[in-house]
Structure 1
Amino acid sequence: MIWKLVEKIEAKATQWYHQIHNNPELSGEEVETAKYITKLLRSWGISVRTGVTGNGVVGIIEGKEVNGKVIGLRADMDALPIDEKTNLPYKSKKPGIMHACGHDVHVANLLASAYILNEIREKWNGRVVLIFQPSEETLPGGALKMIEANVLDDPYVDVVIGMHVSPELSTGTIGYKSGVFMSSTDEIYIEVKGKSGHAALVKEFIDPVVSSAAIIINLQQIISRRNNPIIPTVLSIGKVIANGRTNVIPSLVNMEGTFRTFDENWRNEAKTLINEIVYNTAQAYATTANVNILSGYPTLYNDEKLSAEIINFIKNNLSEIKLIEVPMRMTSDDFAYFALQRPSFFFRLGTGNEKKGTTYQLHTDKFRIDDEALKYGIYTMSSIAFGFLNNQINI
């Protein structure tokens, strides 16, 4: 039944995806995207709440009987500050802004799932909460703000489902990982101060460049000597600005980096160690330092019982889907905040097709998806919702 509805709506869903890809909007600026979503939902008679924490949109579909389970389906909406280099006929109209992370696909996927569930609402009981979330790409993220706006409490949502495109998986494939799935992420900002001077007059300056180099090296001891080796962890400094010259030692060095891991206790401990190492190393080189660690998204955890139920449901009912277990990912997503509040399941939608040239990685200027992949995401999300509301999936 649902597969036939997917085939019916597939062409429209592809048009929605192309339209949103063609008109990307950055985090916090998703005004036209929100209007587009709202117009479609209302045209189907779905109740809509707009302006949720800015540009968020929440729709509610009621089944034959309102009393029953409630499932939340989430899609993020924002694009990235990247200049698109594809030759797609629907490539971004806006220089320097691109849907390079597939959020346009996520929105089209949720719109089509909403259409299908609304069409068959007489065949299930309960409610579906449609969560179109802004600002996933920019800290502190839109998920936490939407939770604070009670999107999970009015009505009370029992479980939340989300997805993300994955070009490394082939079209027709759904990737899953029960339990810990995606890493936490924190941004590190370090300022090292010394005394500027002529590079030849070594007694007259205090060198923040050498001090910064030592800090970078010493920070790696957190990974190799202080971390439990069974906990995957990354600490990388990706930006160093020392604005001197061949013969000028600057007075200031600024550095930026990222810290990612899969254990919240270790995450907190490591932040303390970062501060200690930076301050102590700076002091050893007669410099001073300031550290600012901007806390990002927590570890994303897929509820193990819910995951097992969904995986079993897909295996037994969705023969069109190729299901594959994937490893933990060192990338992050603020869907993790939903997973902290309710049992949740976040899956990966395969969009890769080498013949069609859709294997470019996320966050690159040539990223694109195989349009054929969209129907498998729609089928999976709408089927999970239908199965949950009809007690084929339980927690």
Structure 2
Amino acid sequence: MEDFSKNQTFAIHAFAGASALTLGTLSTYPFDTIKTLIQVGSGPDKQLTAAQVFDRVRKLSGDSGVYNGFGWLALGRVLGVGARFGTYEMLTAFYKDGRKDNYVYASEALMAGIAAGAVESLISSPFELLTVRAQVTSASRVSNSSMGLQKTSVSSSVAKLLRGYSPDVKALNHSVGLLSALNTKQANLTGSLKEYPWMMTGTGRAPPVYQVRRPIDVISLEGWGALWRGMRSGLVRDSIFGGVFFSSWQFLHRAMLDWKAVGMDPIPSSDEDIGPLHPLAVSLAAGFSGSVAAAASHSFDTAKCRSQCLVLPKYITMERKFLRWTLPGRRFERLTGIHPRDRNILFRGIWLRMARSGVASFVFIGSYFFVIDRLVSV
């Protein structure tokens, strides 16, 4: 009977957490889509505004375009944030062991949050890549007529790398025409070019992002490792976010407890004597902490989003390994995964991410308490 009660309690909290996370993601997903498109679409001399991005998404994908990729992000957040809070609770349990008030210092919350954020990054990275590419697709003009595609037979090498992809025959013919030193009357010249993976688009460049957005396409063309692309910047981002979020939330929680204890008679000897805080106050503290954490980690979020929009086929990755290709930039940039060309645009969309993280954290914590109160009281 005791085991059944524990399992039922765990199921209630898991359901409440998943529901609250889904609601928080749903309520702020348009902010995330616009933020991502500003990050990946901007350049040193090109700064997009939220209005421009929103108008382009509406024009190309309709009003529902701002929710492209929502399912991937919702699933990733349920797993990732669940792992973040679970790891944090396990680590802080060692800090609280033997203490009278089960109190956690802000410095301890910082260290536990850094480790929890790293675990979240490892779990949620594949879902973020698929989300980002779906968001970019919502603002991309995909037209078969403008690409000059023809439903012709595809070479076996291209078919293995990217299923369902038709090469741009117009670009292939143009490339053949540039080979003036060769005998272009040879009937098999175009067919021979199709056999080379780097000519699958007819231009020598990798396919666009909107052609490589499904999991099966990413894995077949870029390999399993592509699902964790931008892992360096992602680890730094989520570690900073987790550390700042939990430490600032713990600091605010302590301050609110001390404020509530002022004027109490008799003076409370422990936190249990003070009593629980109001759910609205806890939710507001979580929302503020989420905004601060988003601001502290935003530059690494930009670096990761931009790296996830790069399509790197397996043959290019293999070639870089053979040539021992080194990452460009300074040592700090190489360690954290920041490309030197992105130095001047790392803070694009920071206000949107702060708003999204703050509102999502507020809705998540508030709805979690609401669902728990309703389910437990039944």
Greater per-residue strand proportion = 1
Larger Rg: 2
Q: TM-score, structure 2 length as denominator?
A: 0.25
